[in-house]
Structure 1
Amino acid sequence: MAHRFLALRLAAGAFVATLGMAAHAACVANPPTQSDSTFPASLTGKLAYHSYVGYGDGTSQLFIYDFAARTLTQVSNSTWGIQDPMNAVFSPDGKWLAFMGIANGAWNVFFWQVGSSELPVNLTNSTGETRNEDPKFSADGKSLLFKQSGDIMQATLSYTSSGPVFTSVVNLTNTAPNVESSMPFASPDGSAVYFVTGAGSGMGLYKQTVATRTKVAFDTPTGLATYYPIVRADGTVFYARWKDATQLDQLYTKVNPGDTPNQLSINDCNSNNSDPWPVNGTNYVFFSSTTAGGYQLYLGDTSTGQRWSLSRFGVNADSTRNKLGSSYHPGTAVAPPQTVLLSQGKPASASSSYNASLGPNNAFDGNTTSTRWNSIEGSAAGTQWLMVDLGSVRTINGVDLYWDAGARVYYLQASNDGVNWTTFYSTTNGVSYSHVVLPNLNGSGRYVRMLGTQRATQWGYSLYEMQVWGY
């Protein structure tokens, strides 16, 4: 078969591996795709990837999907002057994308500040003297690993007023051109680097200690190309390997060189599966698979074998293009907004008041036992409302009602204009009196009202206090 990954990595000079004994298969033939409604809501970061029609045809472009904003953006464009940008990775702080592309007639490594209108910075500046590919950040973001003309380089990063620069570059392998090394990825503590050596079916995965340059075989199965290591924060190495001599790409994991390779159940036995990017702290991994034809992006759960297509986000909308090289950044954890009392002392109004001393402002004065609002009484009091103006549109997540005379049937409603109302809570079993706490609500508006349509007592509706909580 035509081996997409082999063609891509060899043509880009970013590919190396070896062959050997295959692990026991754990793949699934034509695995089902989970429904969009079950896609993990905890993934709210950004996913970078590249998309192209055919390798080397100049169509490769970089994209970012923002799960929080639900936006898909092509970030590369013609003003960059870079042909075939690909294999982008986020810096650990999410502020930069490092990627490879062709400029000045040579493959170079670039940095682009995420979300900016600035042009990418060319950090290798080759015009053909060297070929620079496969950038990957160290876990602390202080260095960048990349392939340069068949060797693994480690560059120390510095961020200046004019942008990022390499302050030093060290060759970690020094074996080119006799042995080609590529696709480096640092261990979480930075003490070692995983990379591939060799070419074609002779590509194997190795681990090298940075300080001593001691190199050991990590997974070098005979006759089965092994490549593209990505290391999760807990030290688990995700990588791709041929399933058998037919060269189907499958995803595997290992922790130690002596471990038996674990073939993941998210693999499609009948398709190519490659370019894994595990999500730290979870069992999720983004990857590319040809299950639906060309390479499309999926999310897999390595503990259950479940797979979700990213088609719901528009990522796989153009089936003529292959999507590869995913890199996920979880974003900065944001503390939930602090819930506060929004209603106290705010302007209030009501459909009626029993008398001037029992007006609507009494229900928002902070006194829950002595002052109150009371509607008119008798048969005319069938439907009444009490409203507060919060001053601006706010999120409402709780309401406390201190009833003196309650409502059997009532609605809590919110409005942005005081005319059009949306109900965010209702009940047909209200109390005659007492303090009612209503947490975990989901309302939004500037105006909030209690609309009573059936009394729980013979009197009118009466509230000592109505407290609206939110942010």
Structure 2
Amino acid sequence: MKTLGLLLLILGSLNSTHASCVNNPQDQPGATLPALSGKLVYHSYENYSDGSSQLFLYDFSEGKLTQLSNKAWGITDPMNANISPDGKSIVFMGKQKNTWNVYTWEFGSDKSPTNLTNSSGETKNEDPKYSFDGKSILYKSNGDIMKMDLKTKETINLNKGDNKVENAMSYPSVDGNVIYFTKGAYGESGIYQKDLRTGVTCPFSVEPGVSNYYPIVRDEDTVFFTKWISANVRNDQLYLKKTTPSAKPVELSINDCMANNSDAAPVGADQVIFSSTSKGKGYQLYLGDINTGKRWNLDSLGLNTGAKNKLGAHYHADPTATSKTIVSTLISKDKPAKASSTEESGLIADYAFDGNPGTRWGSIEGPEAGTQWISVDLGESRTIKGATLNWDAAAKSYEIQVSDDEENWTTIYSTTDGHGGVVQLDLSGKGRYVRMKGSEKLTQWGYSLSEFQVWGY
């Protein structure tokens, strides 16, 4: 009873002093998601630094999700990507030979990323951010904030030896004259503002016993950051504050009081893409309107498929984009499903379409598996633009087929070189029924899909 009383006391205090956040806020319907035309990068992993992190790009104008990182890069745990102001490249952190370095890579390049910091273990280089003019980057190296000129590769230490406490998560002001950064760790972390012209550093958001971290400059006047609710209620919440250190921060109404909300990525004047643990399935990506408090789970675009945590979002608006319409949406979730076989009662076809990567469909196993299929009924003939296959046990050879009667099937994709993991397919077809037909297994088991998502309209 004492534990229950303490919990009620904390929740009561939370509701009375933090009215801006909402307990378990409702998601807005995916059909009402505001139209965007830019690009979004983020990383996805199961557990931090377990080697599973991968970088992804979503193009809102094309409605296309692409995994950027691959084995050929030879980089483990690529994460925290930042798009250049001209939208042509990214910088990010990752490991080679167990050493963290900062890399850059041009979109569409068939070459591996360029290592900018070239450490062989003497330094640990992390969290790069472009300057607003694109001429330099800021990053952390062994607890100091570094600035690198991208043309000359000249690097200077902006802390000048002030590394008794770790300095991290730096972000430049729009004019480049000021940096915002986090000093300290966990409950002792605070955000500071440093004027590079005068060398003067002052507290920006510091509260004893409360973590303040991850400053993100939105524009000339405002900065997003993340902070615990209190020393006792350690749920991360998003705040917006004027660049004047004495200004009062505003807690955003898109926050879920009962979850962690962090990693703000500004989208224009009114919106922000961020990560939240609201669904209890790890960090998922959301779009929030900071004026109305409305939140859209980006699962409707397929961005929360695969590994459980999606973090480090960065959005780049495309001023040349002509399309303002999201091309495709998820049209297969919770639709009726069938399969040629099921290994056991807990691995039915429906589980591949329930939006939960923790459940799955599994066919019979072993040599008798042979050719197996799984299909979904979309309810009516739809235009098919893509599919996401989150394999548990993959097919080496398979087809994606469409039909209007479940008897006559048209193949719109086929491969004899399939692989495991999350596979994004660009498709073009039309039909009421969509199926994956596997004809050759990649493993000794059968065929198994954690998620089979169909995209279209």
CA drift at 1:333: 2.2
Q: Secondary structure at the match of 2:154?
A: strand
State the alpha-carbon separation in 2 of the partners of residues 263 and 246 from structure 1.
15
TM-score of the superposed pair, with normalisation by structure 2: 0.65
- 2:270 corresponding residue in structure 1: 283
State the alpha-carbon separation in 2 of the partners of residues 200 and 267 from structure 1.
20
State the alpha-carbon separation in 2 of the partners of residues 213 and 329 from structure 1.
31
Q: Secondary structure at the match of 1:252?
A: strand
Correspondence 1:169 to 2:155: yes
Runs of 4+ displaced beyond 2 Å? 22-25, 174-177, 332-336
Percent of aligned pairs with the same amino acid:
50
**After the TM superposition, which residues 11-410 of structure 1 pair with which residues of structure 2 at under 5 Å, given as runs?**
24-41=18-35, 43-158=36-151, 166-175=152-161, 177-244=163-230, 245-255=232-242, 256-280=244-268, 282-293=269-280, 294-318=282-306, 320-334=307-321
State the alpha-carbon separation in 2 of the partners of residues 89 and 102 from structure 1.
17
Q: Deviations over 1:340-384 (max 9, x none)?
A: xxxxxxxxxxxxxxxxxxxxxxxxxxxxxxxxxxxxxxxxxxxxx
State the alpha-carbon separation in 1 of the partners of residues 190 and 132 from structure 2.
23
Q: Deviations over 1:79-128 (max 9, x none)?
A: 10001000001000011110000013210000010122111000000011
Q: For the aligned residues, what is the CA RMSD? A: 1.5
Q: Secondary structure at the match of 2:299?
A: helix
Matched-pair contact (CA < 8 Å) for 2:131–2:174: yes
AA in 1 matched with 2:193: K
State the alpha-carbon separation in 2 of the partners of residues 182 and 317 from structure 1.
30
Q: Deviations over 1:318-337 (max 9, x none)?
A: 3x42000000011132469x
Matched-pair contact (CA < 8 Å) for 1:111–1:123: yes
CA drift at 1:299: 0.4
State the alpha-carbon separation in 2 of the partners of residues 207 and 51 from structure 1.
30
Larger Rg: 1
State the alpha-carbon separation in 1 of the partners of residues 18 and 207 from structure 2.
13
Matched-pair contact (CA < 8 Å) for 1:23–1:263: no
Matched-pair contact (CA < 8 Å) for 2:38–2:321: no
AA in 1 matched with 2:219: A
State the alpha-carbon separation in 2 of the partners of residues 309 and 24 from structure 1.
23
CA drift at 1:243: 0.9
CA drift at 1:317: 2.2
Structure 1: gaps spanning 5 or more residues: 1-21, 159-165, 337-471
State the alpha-carbon separation in 2 of the partners of residues 37 and 242 from structure 1.
32
TM-score of the superposed pair, with normalisation by structure 1: 0.63
Aligned length: 305
Q: Secondary structure at the match of 1:184?
A: strand
Q: Secondary structure at the match of 1:32?
A: coil
State the alpha-carbon separation in 1 of the partners of residues 308 and 84 from structure 2.
26
AA in 1 matched with 2:139: F
AA in 2 matched with 1:26: S
State the alpha-carbon separation in 1 of the partners of residues 217 and 22 from structure 2.
24
CA drift at 1:274: 0.4
AA in 2 matched with 1:311: D
Matched-pair contact (CA < 8 Å) for 2:173–2:220: no
Matched-pair contact (CA < 8 Å) for 1:104–1:126: no
Matched-pair contact (CA < 8 Å) for 1:133–1:146: yes
State the alpha-carbon separation in 2 of the partners of residues 97 and 335 from structure 1.
23
Matched-pair contact (CA < 8 Å) for 2:61–2:321: no
AA in 2 matched with 1:57: D
State the alpha-carbon separation in 1 of the partners of residues 34 and 291 from structure 2.
14
Q: Secondary structure at the match of 1:101?
A: strand
CA drift at 1:24: 4.3
AA in 2 matched with 1:178: K
CA drift at 1:177: 4.0
